[in-house]
Structure 1
Amino acid sequence: MRIKNYIGGKWIDSEQLQQVPIVNPANGTVLGEVPLSTKAEVEMAVSAAKEAQKKWALIPAPKRADYLYEIGYKLREKKEHLAQVLTSEMGKVIEEARGEVQEGIDMAFYMAGEGRRLFGETTPSELADKFAMSVRSPIGVVGLITPWNFPIAIATWKSFPAIVAGNTFVWKPSIETPLMAYELGKIFEEVGLPDGVANIVFGSGSTVGTAMIEHPDIKVISFTGSNATGSKVAELGGRHLKKVSLEMGGKNAVIVMDDANLSLAVDGIVWSAFGTAGQRCTACSRVIVHKDIKQELEEMLVEAISQLTVGDGLDPAIKVGPVINRKALEKINYYVQIGKQEGAKLLAGGKILSAPPFEKGFYFEPTIFTDVKNDMMIAQEEIFGPVISIIEVCSLEEAIEVNNSVKFGLSSSIFSQDINKIFKAQRDLDTGIVYVNAGTTGAEIHLPFGGTKGTGNGHRDSGQAALDVFTEWKSIYVDYSGKLQRAQIDTEN
């Protein structure tokens, strides 16, 4: 299968002959090809989006929302098919793939509801016979750049609020997972979304991404990906005075206090650390544990991961699938070797799985390090794989300090039965998301998603906060006094 770009409501072959294979990371099977599109094709997509935007913005928001309801119904109808495709091209196990499609369904219905809740404000005026209000206005054409690890969920986090707010978009999906973008594009087509509202251009970040960021008619860039790339996006977008929304890396921690329910903590750690083979921006990478229960927790974790089955995620018995590609596998192995050199103790795992039946895929053993010091690389840098580092602390205050010591601030978690500790932690943990007695994953679409420090730049995906990325505030004053009234001056009488 050769993927085409979706521009102006039509599927168009790329003028670029160079194609990249789409590879199933579980077994190396080639699923198709995706083009490395050109700057000219970005221009075509932006032109189509610009032409459609004014007309789209004039459609009442509740009517725009009707398209999202239809998209949600289509996603629900195709849920199993989409989950199978997602697992085949990305690798996450089928149960998680179904959950991701469900997130897209939830986002469709939630943002459809926002079509009737694009609230502004009415406020009193300081002058008589004067009305004051604010309204949300669409910005225009927006650019969306999404990663491979949640190829449908993150796409819906960005595209659905963009279009319900009255914008049109150009979307560059990851070339690692183009099939999910193609499937979503087909749904846009099937529900009759007007031509030019949604445009998809496949290709590299250096060509397609750069062309989008530099294009004068794209007013917003919403990006999810690595810190290295996000920094470049911010710099280039800043030069062109664009609104740039960034959601980047994490070094997320689970804090386990001495009064915690350890069985529950182990379940939360294993799910959030090894689900999606650790390839979530919210994955648990550190376990910060009170010294009095460290040994018991370690023993329970080692036992728990010994029960995890690794393999092709299409098999429902599998709990940990492959990582996305060879480069990711080598990066994980690099950090594991660094951890050994730094003096961390390897409790479990630590190896690439390459013997049959793993020889054609990209598999890494679920891995646990202990006796990790907070200044070690494996405790500070994002690994993006099935590796956790156990760090011992003596108090809640020390646990919070260790949690906050990294450059990221996406997600954190605390397991405790003490309400005083819980409320102190949720106040002091410097992350955009905090979980109590749950792992570091499991965000729901009606709350803001994003982080502090090096994780982002203050914007949020998901929830009503997502609308702030894709709208401008307009303040309106209506004076019906029939005379000149001067604010701040004619207010004394």
Structure 2
Amino acid sequence: MPLKKMFIDGQWVEATSGQTRTILNPYNQETIATAAEGDQTDAKQAIAAARRAFDQGDWPNTPATERASHVRKIAELIERDKQELAELESLDTGKTVEESLVDMDDIAGVFHYYAEIGDKDGGEMIDSPIPNSVSKVVREPVGVCGQITPWNYPLLQASWKLAPALVTGNTLVMKPSEITPLTTVKVFELIEEAGFPAGVANLVLGAGNTVGAELSNNTDVDLISFTGGIETGKKIMQAASINVKKLALELGGKNPNVVFADADFETAVDQAMNAVFFHAGQICSAGTRLIIEESIHDKFVAALTERVQNIKLGSGFEETTQMGPLISAEHLAKVEHYVETGKQEGAKVVVGGKRPEAPELQNGFFYLPTIFTDCTSDMKVVQDEGFGPVITVETFQTEDEAIKLANDSIYGLAGGVWTNDIVKAERCVAKMRMGTVWINEFNLYFPHAPWGGFKQSGIGRELGKPGLEEYTETKHIFHNLDPKPINWF
């Protein structure tokens, strides 16, 4: 089994220490790869390579059209290798191949989108206060970017960071999750194939407390983009203050899905399931807080329970599988603890709430789709991000109460509203404190719409034009064409 290596300064290298990490299939705990296990030494080498490539190389000053052409090439290579990438992603994360194939289309779309808009902003002229002068505003690359991606959507989250950083002329060091590095390694092979100069894009494998910490603390890094947990995000913010790095942080959510009695019932039930059970609920935007108008609560929960009981668990490589395993034994234990906490708080398990008993699932990190009712907003199970296949159900009687419940969270990433009353829908979303709010939809995203959160869900935005602007600095250039003495002194 070939070793998965790191990519530093245009070369594939092993860890300086010689250490490696075993990568497991979450479906059956079989070894699927061995990866280099980098540390601070490797991170420093990658940062130094990115610094040289930015300060001494040609990439930042390469014409924007040429940079866009390189980024477009990555998209084309992803489309060429779509099946291989999807199977690697499913092997690494446990999600279904069908879902991973959709992800690959989205990922290629991100690179295509930024290749399309990356060469369109040539700056703007602004009015000057004096005659015979030129005043203009331009955007320039930030510099060396540290990029830290999570385990749940390894390549999708990487694409959201790689494409805008590269097309704007930055250099970068990426650290994927140490437990799901396979598709990120593959996309760096495609970056090499696309012909990027050495040192522009670097990949270091390893743990957050070594490689991630070095990226956060190193003063040669100008920006950190991180997607992951809130506590790690806070540590990165503290470390970044050393040299006042720019920050883009997406720190998860506890996302409300508000259903009014006048919503299309069958569609709302179906989408309530889709909102949570894709990738076993391991989605930062999962609609895990189901907030239902009281008059339809019993009917809605009954319909939801019937369908949840029929979800087919299994290998992501089986066509009949609808939901795969959780990512690791550690994460399975966290979800189990989360559910037990909910039980102790008085929430009622309607379905699920345990590991499956099927013999063929015993070697994997599986947890049954779970519904909690009798929930109140003061419960930890309602407030904490469980990151598993668990729905909590709350009820409301009035529109104001629904909005109050939806906003009752330290998070503010996303939310949804289901109603056939257009005016009511617009009233609700205007008051919901989240970065994305869907009306009669959930978990839909696309490259040209910005993504990010309010409150403790993070700062900054990915995707869309704001996602491009995160990787640029704004510079004002003033040129006096007819300078004269002021004679002030």
**TM-score, scaled to structure 2:** 0.97
1:478 aligns with 2:489: no
Q: For residues 303-322 of structure 1, what are the structure 2 equivalents within 5 Å?
A: 303-322=306-325
Say whether 1:126 aligns with 2:129: yes
> Counterparts in 2 of 1:278-427, with a 5 A limit?
278-427=281-430
Q: Which residue of 2 aligns with 1:442?
A: 444
Q: State yes or no: 1:184 paired with 2:187.
A: yes
Deviation at 1:482, TM superposition (A): 4.2
Q: Distance in 2 between matches of 1:403 and 1:460?
A: 22
- Code of the aligned partner of 2:233: G
Deviations 1:337-365 (A, max 9, x none): 11111111111111112541111100000
- Distance between the aligned counterparts of 1:235 and 1:197, measured in 2? 27
- Distance (Å, rounded) in 2 between the aligned partners of 1:416 and 1:354: 38
Per-residue deviation at 1:51?
1.9
CA drift of 1:77 comes to: 0.6
Does the Cα contact within 8 Å between 1:354 and 1:363 map onto a contact in 2?
Answer: no
The amino acid of 2:162's aligned partner reads: S
Instruction: State whether residues 127 and 485 of structure 1, in contact with CA within 8 Å, keep that contact through their aligned partners in structure 2.
Output: no
Deviations 1:298-329 (CA, angstroms, capped at 9, x unpaired): 11101221221111111121111111001111
Residue equivalent to 2:10: 9
Structure 1 Cα separation of the partners of residues 45 and 70 of structure 2: 24
Counterparts of 1:59 and 1:464, CA distance in 2: 21
Aligned residue type for 1:310: L
In 1, Cα distance between equivalents of 2:281 and 2:422: 30
State the secondary structure of the residue aligned to 1:222. Answer: strand
Q: Is the 8 A contact 1:16 1:35 kept in 2?
A: no
Give the drift of 1:277. 0.3
Q: What corresponds to 1:22 in structure 2?
A: 23
Letter in 1 for 2:471: F
Contact kept? 2:435, 2:453, Cα under 8 Å: yes
The aligned amino acid for 1:442 is L
Task: Name which of 71, 87, 96 aligns with 1:93.
Answer: 96
Q: Distance in 1 between matches of 2:382 and 2:209?
A: 31
Cα distance in 1 between the residues matched to 2:485 and 2:118 = 37
Determine if contact 1:72/1:109 at 8 Å carries over to the other structure.
yes
Contact 2:142–2:473 (CA under 8 A) maintained in structure 1: yes
Deviation digits for residues 433-464 of structure 1, max 9, x if unmatched? 0000012x12111111100001002x001111
Aligned-partner residue type, residue 451 of structure 2? F
92-101 or 375-384, which deviates more: 92-101
Matched, 1:36 2:33: no
1:374-403, CA deviations, whole angstroms, 9 ceiling, x for partnerless residues?
111111000000000010111111111011
SS in 1 for 2:291: strand
- The one-letter amino acid paired with 1:360 is N
Out of 132, 155, 159, the residue aligned to residue 158 of structure 2 is 155
- Quick check: 1:137–1:165 contact (8 Å CA) kept in 2? yes
Report the CA distance shift for 1:316/1:343 in structure 2 as closer, same or farther (over 3 A). Answer: same
Deviations 1:206-240 (A, max 9, x none): 11111111212111011010001111011111133
Residues 281 and 390 of structure 2 are in contact (CA less than 8 Å); yes or no, is this contact kept in structure 1? Answer: yes
Partner of 1:45: 46
SS of 1:218's equivalent in the other structure is coil
Distance in 1 (alpha carbons) for counterparts of 2:440 and 2:163:
31
Q: Distance in 1 between matches of 2:335 and 2:300?
A: 24
Structure 1 window deviating more from structure 2 (354-363 vs 57-66): it is 354-363
Could you say what secondary structure the match of 2:479 adopts?
A: strand
Q: Which amino acid aligns with 1:69?
A: R
Q: Name the CA distance, whole Å, in 2 between partners of 1:478 and 1:331.
A: 59
Equivalent positions of 1:175-324 (< 5 A) are 175-324=178-327
The code of the aligned residue for 2:185 comes to: Y
Q: Per-residue displacement from partner, 1:96-146 (whole Å, max 9, x unpaired)?
A: 111211121001100101222234221122322222110001121111000
**Aligned residue pairs: how many?**
485
- Give the aligned residue type for 2:446: E
Q: C-alpha displacement at 1:79, in angstroms?
A: 0.7
Partner of 1:463: 464
Q: Which amino acid aligns with 1:471?
A: T
Partner residue of 1:431 out of 422, 434, 441: 434
CA contact (8 A) 2:175 2:204 kept: yes
AA in 2 matched with 1:226: G
What are the ranges of 5 or more consecutive residues in structure 2 without an aligned counterpart?
A: none
Q: Which amino acid aligns with 1:240?
A: N
Structure 1 segments unaligned to the other structure (5+ residues): none
Letter in 1 for 2:34: E
Is the contact made by 2:39 and 2:207 (CA closer than 8 Å) also made in structure 1?
no
State the identity as a percent.
35
The answer (yes or no) to whether the contact 1:449–1:460 under 8 Å persists in 2 is: yes
Whole-angstrom CA distance in 1 between matches of 2:132 and 2:399: 57
